[in-house]
Amino acid sequence: SDLQKQEERGELLQPLIFVFLVLCSVLLYFKVSLMDPGFVKSEEEAEAGKSEEQSMVIPQVPSNIKMRRCGYCMVKQPMRARHCQLCQHCVRRYDHHCPWIENCVGEKNHPLFIGYLSVQLVVLLWGGHVAWSGLYFEQSWGWLQHNVLLLMSFLLIVIFTTVVLLLLISHLYLISCNTTTWEFMSHHRISYLRHSELENPFDQGVVLNLWRFFC
């Protein structure tokens, strides 16, 4: 492959960058998997921990929509929170429970989750290029025997790249609208959205939505 040829010539910059990106993706994976996504731990924390964003948009939601008590963990849910039955906790600004990381994506780890997807996409695209550069096609059984693992790796990388790219694009779109996957998929079931005069009371424009999410 290209990286092997560079290593043999003593050109170690790109191989080291590639290894560094792989290590970063692994570390980000464990960080996003193991960190607190924004669990609502008690009634006092739920009241004290309301974000500035929530306090700004509450006037746009009908006044009869009150904080409700979760029927599972018995805490008062802040607006945009939802109980995850897999994690057994209510999660602030709940987006979804990701089986890939075995954790919820919520208020605290959502930006890091986007960072993880971005780094992973770069690694997959580069890995696909490396795998493709090592393939020299010949119509012979011997060639297939010697290249079957590399060919399978390339096909797997293509599949994972497609999944990660679609996931990243969908999340960036929802972030630009200041909505979550849960709100987007279940708009008709959520009281503060169903009774709101606005289709999305949290939307403050693409630039401000992105700024508030990432900064």
pLDDT, one tens digit per residue, over 30-87 is 999 999 999 988 755 545 445 544 444 444 555 555 667 888 888 888 889 999 999 8
pLDDT for 191: 81
Q: For Cα atoms 58, 112, 91, give the angle at the middle one, nearest 5 degrees.
A: 45
Q: Is there a single domain that holds both residue 114 and residue 160?
A: yes
- Total number of domains constituting the chain: 2
* For residue 198, pLDDT beyond 70: yes
203 DSSP β-pair partners: none
Q: Is there a single domain that holds both residue 124 and residue 149?
A: yes
Q: Which of 133, 125, 131, 201 is nearest to 160 (CA)?
A: 125
Q: Which of 134, 94, 115 is nearest to 31 (CA)?
A: 115
Stretch 98-109: mean pLDDT? 93
Sheet with strand 89-91: strands edge to edge: 39-40, 89-91, 82-84
Q: Is there a single domain that holds both residue 41 and residue 129?
A: no
Positions annotated as catalytic residues are 98
Residue 209 lies in a domain: no
Global pTM reads 0.82
Label residue 193 by pLDDT band (50, 70, 90).
confident
Residue 58 lies in a domain: no
Residue 154 lies in a domain: yes
Q: Which of 57, 164, 61 is nearest to 119 (CA)?
A: 164
Label residue 141 by pLDDT band (50, 70, 90).
low
Please name the residues in contact with 126: beta carbons below 8 A apart, sequence gap of 6 or more. Answer: 18, 21
pLDDT for 67: 67
- The parent domain of residue 86 ranges over 37-48+65-104
Kindly state the helix (H) or strand (E) to which residue 6 belongs, with its residue range: helix 2-8
